Amino acid sequence: MTSTEERRTPLDAVHDALGATMTDFAGWRMPLRYGSETAEHRAVREAAGLFDLTHMGEITVTGPEAARALDHALVGFVSKIGVDRARYSMICDADGGILDDLIVYRLGEDDFLVVANASNAAVVAGELLARAAGFDAVVTDRSEEYALLAVQGPHAVAILAPLADLDLDKVKYYAADRATVAGVDVLLARTGYTGEDGFELFCAPADAVRLWTSLAEAGAGHGLIPAGLSCRDTLRLEAGMPLYGHELTTSVTPYEANLGRVVRLDKPEDFVGRDALAAREKEGPRATLVGLRSPGRRVPRAGYAVLDPETKAPIGEITSGAPSPTLGAPIAMAYVPLDRAEPGTVLAVDIRGAAEPVEVVALPFYKRA
Amino acid sequence: MSAPQNLLYSKDHEWLTTDGNPAVIGISQHAADALGDVVFVQLPEVGARVTAGEPCGELESTKSVSDIFAPADGEVVEVNTAVVDDPSLVNSDPFGEGWLIKVQLDTPAADVDGLMSEAEYNAFTGA
């Protein structure tokens, strides 16, 4: 997609008015940062951040066999999800390679909302449509019908409680409910991608500016600031959360990504990728995702080679890396051989021609108190 | 922030002073804004030779790492240790406290090929 066809969220003018640095992300014009991305990162860790995530894809699956269709299409046990609950899941190809990671919300007995990454929304919608064939279920790409805002951080509850028409204590982590927030009808989900408590609010695009403005005003006294995709990336990295296209690709299965728990080989429904995933589960992963921390200040970046510290032979690859605002040190995730994955193992990274030492550390790098 | 007068700029977004030799060298506001928050500055050693257009250091920001390119030939006579201790100076004051190195130029800055005036640089960056 060229820049002339760049998609704009309903908050585009709001971001410009805030002086945001905008970036192309999966064909969308999105806010990278409004001021200092480090300040935005810290606000989310210590107070709250307000995000525009409208680029995410929303696909509904409805009908009497919607749950069965999703059991067949995804690796998770979707029919076990309770109404008003959400589950992290994945859609894999027949070889077990990951096509996308998803959150599945069960809005009703026969009513599911699948939230896909922006870069994969069309692929996921197409796969769900194909895989639901033969089931009494209707798959609809509704990405155009939703804006998505998120309030993330320890002050999220205090900010939202006076605006919401329901008791937020009843919306547990990975739960969702229809609600009215500042007079706007939303699907209010206690989910996020920052490692903090927080909420994601799905609303009609026409309501997005009103909702954003109300949240920004209500949050200002609680330290909430607008937060862009740049800090979202460092927040999720500190929280050890994978990003599609980096940690997750069609070249790996959930087992390499340490996410074998999302694959429910015990469910009765046959599902796409089952045989390959059952075999991989039995034989074990071919490499494994680890956390790395550098004692130095140069940052291992995505694509850099991980080296044997003695022979300097390449043994793996960095998938994501950044200076961690919370830890004050460079952190990264990488795929390495299984016998190099023990925390405390010293490895090296080829940082622009120099082998810099790094240490394997347990994930996540950061866990909220 | 407006840039100080009498600076010349390279196409690699470094500036250098023209009122004396050694010249002070830093990166432009445009470059600092594009980088995002700078978290690590690696500068050459005092006494090192630098060559126009060649890397002589690194700036690590949240999203990326960028080379510092020497805007002219010469010898490093001083490095800004304050900016090494507090890389955020590059963002907050790129033309002042966020300067990077002082270089004894082989030829006066005004005679170095390929450098731009502020007006030319602003046109170059589309500012």
Q: What is the pLDDT of residues A233-245, one digit of tens each?
A: 999 999 999 999 9
Q: What does the alpha-carbon distance between residue A119 and residue A276 come to, in Å, rounded to a whole number?
A: 25
Mean pLDDT of chain A: 97
- Could you tell me which residue, A83 or B1, shows the higher pLDDT? A83
Residue B2 has what pLDDT? Answer: 61
Q: What percent of chain A has pLDDT over 90?
A: 98
Q: What is the pLDDT of residues A47-66, one digit of tens each?
A: 999 999 999 999 999 999 99
CATH classification of B7-107 is 2.40.50.100, yes or no?
yes
Name the B residues in 62-121 with CB < 8 Å from any A CB: 62-65, 91
Mean pLDDT of the region B3-15: 90
Q: What does the alpha-carbon distance between residue A144 and residue A57 come to, in Å, rounded to a whole number?
A: 8
Q: What is the pLDDT of residues A327-358, one digit of tens each?
A: 999 999 999 999 999 999 999 999 999 999 99
Chain B residue at shortest CA distance from A302? B64
- Which of A33, A298, A301 comes nearest B36 by C-beta? A33
Q: What does the alpha-carbon distance between residue B24 and residue B4 come to, in Å, rounded to a whole number?
A: 12
Q: Å from A298 to nearest chain B CA?
A: 7
Model confidence band, residue B5 (pLDDT cutoffs 50, 70, 90): confident
For residue B58, list chain A residues with Cβ-Cβ distance below 8 A.
298, 352
The DSSP secondary-structure symbol of A317 reads E
Q: What is the pLDDT of residues A160-210, one digit of tens each?
A: 999 999 999 999 999 999 999 999 999 999 999 999 999 999 999 999 999
CB contact under 8 A, A301 and B65: yes
**Residue A323 pLDDT greater than 60, yes or no:** yes
- Check: CB of residue A68 under 8 Å from CB of residue A269: yes
Q: Å from B34 to nearest chain A CA?
A: 9
CB contact under 8 A, A38 and B62: yes
CB contact under 8 A, B62 and A234: yes
Model confidence band, residue A1 (pLDDT cutoffs 50, 70, 90): very low
Comparing CA positions, the residue from A132, A97, A96 lying closest to residue A114 is: A132
CATH classification of A287-361 is 2.40.30.110, yes or no?
yes
- Which of B42, B58, B62 comes nearest A323 by C-beta? B62
Tell me the binding residues of A: 200
| Substitution target from B39, B40, B89 for chain A, most A beta carbons within 10 A | B39
Correct CATH for A3-53+146-238 of 1.10.390.10, 3.30.1360.120, 1.20.1420.30, 3.40.1010.10? 3.30.1360.120
CB pairs under 8 A between A and B: 41
Q: What does the alpha-carbon distance between residue A216 and residue A14 come to, in Å, rounded to a whole number?
A: 11
Q: What is the pLDDT of residues B20-55, one digit of tens each?
A: 899 999 999 999 999 999 999 999 999 999 999 999
| Substitution target from B29, B35, B37, B41 for chain A, most A beta carbons within 10 A | B37
Q: What does the alpha-carbon distance between residue A238 and residue A51 come to, in Å, rounded to a whole number?
A: 18
Chain A residue at shortest CA distance from B61? A323
Mean pLDDT of the region A310-323: 98
Q: Is residue B2 less than 8 Å (CB to CB) from chain A?
A: no
Mean pLDDT of chain B: 94
Tokens coding B94: 């790129």
Tokens coding B25: 């060298």
Indicate the class that CATH gives domain A57-142.
alpha beta
Q: What does the alpha-carbon distance between residue A343 and residue B115 come to, in Å, rounded to a whole number?
A: 50
Question: In b/e form, how buried is each residue of B68-97, taking b as 16+ CB within 10 angstroms?
Answer: bbbbbbbbbeebbeebeeebebbbebbbee
**Residue B1 pLDDT greater than 80, yes or no:** no
CB contact under 8 A, B62 and A37: yes
Cis peptide leading into residue A364 (ω within 30°): yes
Q: Å from A20 to nearest chain B CA?
A: 11
User: What residue ranges do the domains of chain A occupy?
Assistant: 3-53+146-238, 57-142, 287-361
DSSP string covering A144-188, please? GG-EEEEEESTTHHHHHTTTBSS-GGGS-TTBEEEEEETTEEEEE
* DSSP three-state, residue B97: coil
State CA A154 to chain mean position distance.
Answer: 19
Residue A282, judged by CB atoms within 10 A of its CB (0-12, 13-18, 19+), counts as: exposed
Q: Å from B66 to nearest chain A CA?
A: 11
Tell me the binding residues of A for substrate: 200
**Chain A residue set in contact with B, beta carbons under 8 Å:** 21, 32-33, 36-38, 230, 234, 297-299, 301, 322-323, 352
Q: What percent of chain A has pLDDT over 70?
A: 99
Residue B98 has what pLDDT? Answer: 97
Mean pLDDT of the region B85-93: 96
- Check: CB of residue A216 under 8 Å from CB of residue A238: no
Q: What does the alpha-carbon distance between residue A202 and residue A184 come to, in Å, rounded to a whole number?
A: 10
| Substitution target from A25, A243, A294, A299 for chain B, most B beta carbons within 10 A | A299
Residue A4 has what pLDDT? Answer: 59
CB contact under 8 A, A230 and B62: yes
Mean pLDDT of the region A100-117: 98
